[in-house]
Amino acid sequence: MAELLIISTLNGVLFGMLLFLMASGLTLIFSMMGVLNFAHASFYMLGAFFGFQIARWAGFWPALILAPILVGGVGMLVERFGLRNVHKHGHVPELLFTFGLAFVIEEVVQMIWGKSPVDFRVPAILDFPAFTIFATNYPAYKLFMLVISIAIFVALFAALTKTRVGLIVQAALTHPHMVAHLGHNVPLVFMTVFGFGAGLAAIAGVIAGPALVTQASMAALLGPILFVVVVVGGLGSLPGAFVASLLIGLLQTFAVSVNLSLADVFSFLNFTPRPGTTLADLWKVTVAQIAPIMPYILLVLVLIFKPTGLMGTRDT
Amino acid sequence: MTGDVLKPSLAPLERTGPLGVLMRSAVWIVLALILAMLPLVFKTGTSLTLMSLMGIAIIFALSYNILLGQTGMLSFGHAVYYGLGAYLVVHSINVVTANKLPIPLPLMPLIGGLAGLFFGLLFGWVSTKRSGTAFAMISLGLAELVGSSALILRGFFGGEEGITTNRAKLLRVFDWSFGPQIQVYYLIAAWCLLCVFLMYKITRTPLGRMCNAVRDNAERVQFVGYNPQVVRFLAFCLSGFFAGIAGGLAAINFEIANFALFSAAQSGTVLLATFIGGAGYFFGPIIGAVLVSYLQVMLSDLTEIWQLYFGLMFIAVVMFAPAGIAGIIMLHQPLVKRGTLLKVLPSYVLALVPALVMATGIVLMIEMIFRISSKEGEEAMIKLFGMHVSSTSPTLWGISAAMFLAGLVACRLTWPLVASAWSRASAAEPGGSAA
């Protein structure tokens, strides 16, 4: 039991921190530009594939630096030549633009790297068990992922609260017009923040690529969970996104390891529904089986009891 | 001013008295005749299948537009109601067949509609609590929830294989078995016409008008004394109802319901179709549904990466024509009225040539990249005018890059011509009332 608790907590925090790497960029972009970037998970995927390609040519460490920079550049171009032009048509076309972009990025990745997963390996230097706990080896690479994501979290927090740029960004989160009136180049700030957010997602992609599966459907698999995170946390709230990321990370990881079903819990009732019926399916399904839909159940519950999200104040 | 400009165009439809009624019903009678005559013109099996798909897509897209176009709610999970409608119809047909109940097939889509309505009530209650971006994300989450549940609840949804049925075993009316595709086409066409009619009429009711008001300014709606949340909820339920009918027709058409009905691609396609057609006009989604169904069938025959072109086309529409095809058509209405449409046509032709050249260049490059990265040997060749050319041939790369660049430059040059032709055409007013 203790083994399960420790390993699941570590994995859960890790998954949560990865989610936050993406959710933070998404939240920054949303708060500032009012557009929820549908293609954010696609930048994560681009990060993983660019990382894979660069790692093949030059090794993992250059990939860890270069891939996020490249993806950040792509993000800036998307903002400058795409989003900025669509902006005048309103928020719905903006959202639809990013939706179309996500669609196109997935197709392009599929066209270049194929539909099947690519062989993105953990670098040899990190390919050993970090520690053994109750006969379970915990891979060093996962620890490395955890360290990187926590380091970025700390750096982001420090940059946002302690530096001048961070203050401008923070101000632009709540009062974008006022910031513009004060003479800051808001379009430039937008472009930088968009590129920066895309870069953060790409870092998540590069470090998650070897541990998870690098394939063309990874954006479509992760994207909806990412949106659940930002809605559950409260749209536009960075602390909310952080709490929700960890919550969903832990929830999903723990759910996977719980093998209980309604039949087990209520076994004292001695009740067996007729096989083949929906009730029988519901009765037999284990928590582990519904782990993938846990975030969505959480989403529905949060919306019923607190429609603005855990820490949200905005109503759009 | 704008009101005055718009009024004459609506006049024939707004007119009261027997003449007005006649003119208004004439539109629907003509539509019915067209739908009835279509199979006489397009006789092949392929076109019958395609037209059946188009009919379903039209209902689905219009139901989606009750949300997007009429009420301003962007949903990424409309396939939920379509899919649930389809499942309920498949199950109902199986139950009716097994118990030999006296219910004919043509009534079955109604069950799909009621299923859509029921789940619209259920999910709409949760999701219409929020509007705007949050609503969009909730719809996405609900779609994922239902899609994943479909794989867990195997008893009802039949797991990965889905559930099959046989449409031809029900009570027969007028000796129609609905085995042959032509009979299914007429069933779909009839339901399509009925649904289009109903959905059009809904836009003319006070509820339809309130939906538009909620879309345009929800705050003001509140001041007037309406609850925007209730209006959104009602629109959501109606939209679920019609989506369920479309799903039911799809179930009858394919005789199967599987979990792919809930896929993100299904929800995405209806969004694409509605937006490309033009969400701002009632007839926009009809154009979009017809076009997208046609492209899905035809493009997938031509190239394996047709979905990429599809996405690029969507982005182009979002960027350059956010009002969709219907918007472009309606833009020309004042010119038609002034009789100056012919003045702009030459400039269109002039602008179209470089645009086509540019598009050809892009397509060539995409196809070459596709072949280099994922094909080998004979398949890596690109077929051009009956010749096989290697995808790595520098000449071909040079030609396509040149086409792209030349097209881009020429586009930039010809666009002002269109603009000036346009302003000349709209300035030349016969009536006098200055623009």
Measure the CA dihedral B390/B392/B396/B397, to 10°: 160
CB contact (8 A) between residue B307 and residue A103: yes
Rg, Å, chain B Cα set = 24
- Is the model's pTM score more than 0.90? no
- Which of A231, A277, A284 to mutate to probe the B interface, most B CBs <10 Å? A231
Gap from B236 CA to chain A (nearest CA, Å):
17
Chain A residues whose CB is inside 8 A of the B269 CB are none
- Considering only CB atoms, which chain A residues are within 8 Å of B373? 111-114
Closest partner residue to B141 (CB to CB) among A101, A224, A278 is A224
Classified as helix, coil or strand, B256 is strand
Cβ–Cβ below 8 Å for A307 and B322: no
Which residues on B lie below 8 Å from A82 (Cβ)?
A: 315, 319
**In the predicted structure, residue B406 carries a pLDDT above the cut 90:** no
SS3 for chain A, per residue?
Answer: CHHHHHHHHHHHHHHHHHHHHHHHHHHHHHHHHCCCCCCHHHHHHHHHHHHHHHHHHHCHHHHHHHHHHHHHHHHHHHHHHHHHHHHHHCHHHHHHHHHHHHHHHHHHHHHHHCCCCCCCCCCHHHCCEEEEECCEEEEHHHHHHHHHHHHHHHHHHHHHHHCHHHHHHHHHHHCHHHHHHCCCCHHHHHHHHHHHHHHHHHHHHHHHHHHCCCCCCHHHHHHHHHHHHHHHHCCCCHHHHHHHHHHHHHHHHHHHHCCCEHHHHCHHHCCCCCCCCHHHHHHHCECCCCHHHHHHHHHHHHHHHCCCCCCCCCCC
Residue of B nearest to A315 (CA): B130
Q: Which residue matches tokens 């069933």?
A: B187
Q: For residue B204, give every residue at least 6 positions away whose Cβ sits within 8 Å of its Cβ, in sequence order, or none.
A: none
Query: What pLDDT is recorded for position A314?
Result: 59
pLDDT at B243: 94
The DSSP call for residue B279 is T
Q: What angle do CA B262, B263, B266 make, to 5 degrees?
A: 90
Give residue B299's pLDDT. Answer: 81
pLDDT score for B56: 93
Q: Which two tokens stand for residue B180?
A: 């042959």
Q: Pseudo-torsion of CA A247, B149, A92, B127, nearest 10°?
A: -80
pLDDT of residue B230: 92
Residue A282 has pLDDT above 90, yes or no: no
Q: Does A313 map to a domain?
A: no
Cβ–Cβ gap B132/A86 under 8 Å: no
Question: By the 8 A CB rule, do B167 and B177 touch?
Answer: no
- Residue A115: closest CA among chain B residues belongs to which residue? B374
Q: Which helix (H) or strand (E) holds B180?
A: none
In angstroms, the Cα distances linking B287 to A122, B70, B264, B275, B326 are 50, 17, 22, 10, 8
pLDDT-derived band at A69 (thresholds 50, 70, 90) equals very high
> Mean per-residue pLDDT for B416-425?
80
Averaged pLDDT of chain B: 83
Residue B7, pLDDT above cutoff 70: no
**Residue B72, both tokens:** 């301003």
Closest residue of B to A89, CA-based? B322
How long is chain B?
Answer: 435
Counted domains in chain A: 1
A30, A87, A96, best to mutate vs chain B, most B CBs in 10 Å: A96
Residue B12 in this model has a pLDDT that exceeds 50: no
Here the tokens at position A316 are 């759009």
User: Per the CB < 8 Å rule, is B140 touching A295?
Assistant: no
Is there a domain that residue A1 lies in?
Answer: no
Cβ-contact A14, A249 below 8 angstroms: yes
Q: Which residue, among B216, B289, B228, has the nearest Cα to B64 in the 3D structure?
A: B289
Token pair of B358 as six digits:
């540019």
Q: How far is B391 from chain A (nearest CA, A)?
A: 14
- Cα gap A314→A310, rounded to integer Å: 11
Buried b or exposed e, range B339-366, using 16+ CB within 10 angstroms = ebeebbeebeebbeebbebbbebbbbbb
Give the number of other Cβ atoms within 10 Å of residue A177's Cβ: 9
- Give the rounded distance of the alpha carbon of B202 from its chain centre: 18
Cα–Cα distances in angstroms (integers) from residue A130 to residues A8, A133, A143, A219, in the given order: 16, 10, 8, 29
Residue B234 near residue B169, CB atoms below 8 Å = no
3-state secondary structure of B341: helix
Would you list the DSSP string of B197-236? HHHHHHHHSHHHHHHHHHHH-HHHHHHHT--HHHHHHHHH
For A121, other C-beta atoms within 10 Å of its C-beta total 14
**Which of A100, A281, A290 is nearest residue B154 as measured by Cβ atoms?**
A281
**Residue B3 pLDDT grade (very low, low, confident, very high; cuts 50, 70, 90):** very low
pLDDT (tens digit per residue) in B215-262: 888 889 889 888 988 999 999 999 999 999 999 999 999 888 888 888
Helix axes B132-152, B108-127, angle to 10 degrees: 130
3-class DSSP state for residue B280? coil
Per CB-CB distance under 8 Å, the chain B contacts of A315 are 130-132, 134
In-domain check, residue A17: yes
Look at residue A315 and tell me if it is in a domain: no
Q: A197-237: per-residue pLDDT in tens?
A: 999 999 999 988 888 888 888 888 888 889 889 888 888 78
Angstrom CA distances, B326 to A65, A300, B32, B285, B337, stand at 47, 36, 21, 8, 17
Query: Is B134 within 8 Å of A231 when comparing Cβ atoms?
Result: yes
Share of chain B above pLDDT 90, in %: 20
The larger pLDDT score, comparing residue A82 to residue A265, is at A82
- Residue B383 is predicted with a pLDDT of 67
CATH of the domain at A221: 1.10.3470
Contact in structure between B183 and B39 (CB atoms under 8 Å): no
The residue of chain B nearest to residue A306, with distances taken between CA atoms, is B129
Mean pLDDT value of segment B11-34 = 74
**Closest residue, chain B, to A82 (C-alpha):** B319
Length of chain A: 316
pLDDT digits (tens, 9 = 90+) for B29-86: 888 888 888 888 887 888 888 899 999 999 999 999 999 888 888 898 899 999 999 9
In the prediction, which pLDDT does B376 show? 62
Q: What pLDDT is attached to residue B97?
A: 85
* Token couple for B299: 């493009």
User: Is A295 in Cβ contact with B141 (below 8 Å)?
Assistant: yes
Judged by DSSP in three states, B390 sits in strand
How far is residue B288's CA from residue B291's CA, in Å, rounded to a whole number? 5
Element spanning B343, H or E: helix B341-374
Q: Please indicate, yes or no, if residue A57 is contained in any of the structural domains.
A: yes
Identify the structural domains of chain B with CATH numbers, from first to last: 42-324 (1.10.3470), 334-427 (no CATH)
Average pLDDT over all residues of chain A: 83
Say what the pLDDT of residue B66 is. 92
Q: Quote the CA–CA distance of B275 and B157 in Å, as a whole number.
A: 31
Position B375 scores a pLDDT of 66
Q: Are the Cβ atoms of A96 and B307 closer than 8 angstroms?
A: no
Write down the pLDDT at residue A30. 85
Q: Which two tokens stand for residue B100?
A: 């030999």
Which residue, A262, A214, A258, is CA-closest to A113? A214
Cβ–Cβ below 8 Å for B136 and A36: yes
Backbone angles phi, psi at B104, to 5 degrees: -80, 160
pLDDT category of residue B433 using cuts at 50, 70 and 90? very low
Q: Which domain holds residue A160?
A: 7-305
Query: Is the complex ipTM more than 0.85?
Result: no
Higher pLDDT, B333 or B200: B200
Mutate to test the interface with B, among A80, A99, A112, A228 (most CBs of B within 10 A): A99
Q: If you measure CA to CA, which chain B residue comes closest to A292?
A: B148
**pLDDT tens, residue by residue, A106-164:** 988 888 888 788 878 777 777 777 677 777 777 888 888 888 888 888 888 888 888 88
Location of structure tokens 């100056």: B340
CB under 8 Å to B351, separation ≥6 — which residues? Answer: B411, B414, B415, B417, B418
What was the pLDDT predicted at A277?
Answer: 66
Q: What is the percent of chain B where pLDDT is above 70? A: 91
Contact A285 B152 (CB under 8 A): yes
Give the amino acid at B321.
Answer: A
Give the pLDDT band of residue B114 (cuts 50, 70, 90): very high
A-to-B residue pairs, Cβ atoms closer than 8 angstroms = 136
Tell me the Ramachandran region of residue B163: left when phi exceeds 0, alpha when psi lies from -120 to 50, beta otherwise: beta
CA distances from B424 to A138, B346, B419, B431, B432 (A): 74, 13, 9, 15, 15
Give yes or no for residue B18 having a pLDDT over 90.
no
* Least Cα separation, residue B267 to chain A (angstroms): 12
- CA nearest to B319 within chain A: A86
What is the model's pLDDT at position A101?
A: 92
* DSSP secondary structure string for all residues of B134-169: HHHHHHHHHHHHHHHHHHH-HHHH-TTT-EE--GGG
